Amino acid sequence: MRAAQTRRGTPAARPGTGGEPSGDPLGALREDLLDELARTAAEEPDPLPRALDAVARYAAAAAGVRRVDVVAADAAGRAVVLAAAGDGPAVRTGERPLRRAGRPVGRLRWHGGTPRLLDDRAVGALEHHLAAAVDERTARQWAQRTATAGTQLFERAARAVGVEAAARVLAEVTGAVFATERSAVHLVDTGTRATHVLGVGLPADVQEALDRRVVGTTAADSPAWRLLSATREPALVDDARDVPLRPGGFIQTLGLRCFASIPLLAHDGLLGAVVCGDVTRTRAWSEHHRALARRFAVQGPGIVELARLRASEAAHVRELEHRAFHDALTGLPNRAALLRALEDTAAGGVALLLVDLDGFKRVNDTLGHAAGDELLRQVAGRLRGSAPAGATPARLGGDELALAVPGATLAAGVALAHRLHALLLEPYDVDGTTVRTGASVGVAAAPADAGGVPDLLRAADEAMYRAKRERTGPRTAPVARC
Whether pLDDT at 123 is above 50:
yes
Higher pLDDT, 201 or 368: 368
Please compute the mean of the pLDDT values over residues 250-256 and round it to a whole number. Answer: 95
Please compute the mean of the pLDDT values over residues 225-239 and round it to a whole number. Answer: 92
The pLDDT of residue 4 is 33
Angle at 392 between CA 458 and CA 462, to 5 degrees: 15
Please compute the mean of the pLDDT values over residues 407-427 and round it to a whole number. Answer: 94
pTM value is 0.61
pLDDT band with cut points at 50, 70 and 90 for residue 87: confident
Whether pLDDT at 277 is above 80:
yes
Higher pLDDT, 116 or 382: 382
Please compute the mean of the pLDDT values over residues 177-203 and round it to a whole number. Answer: 90
Residue pLDDT, tens place only, 131-174: 888 998 988 888 888 888 888 888 887 777 777 888 888 888 99
Label residue 74 exposed, middle or buried (CB < 10 Å: 0-12, 13-18, 19+): middle
Dist CA 239 CA 228 (whole Å): 17
Please compute the mean of the pLDDT values over residues 102-112 and round it to a whole number. Answer: 89
Residue pLDDT, tens place only, 301-324: 777 777 777 777 777 888 888 888
Structural domains of the chain, with CATH: 25-142 (3.30.450.40), 158-313 (3.30.450.40), 335-476 (3.30.70.270)
Lowest mean pLDDT among 82-96, 351-365, 369-383: 82-96
pLDDT band with cut points at 50, 70 and 90 for residue 10: very low
Task: Please report, as a single letter, which amino acid is at residue 338.
Answer: L
- Helix/strand/coil percentages in the chain, nearest 5: 45, 25, 30
Dist CA 423 CA 438 (whole Å): 10
Dist CA 368 CA 464 (whole Å): 26
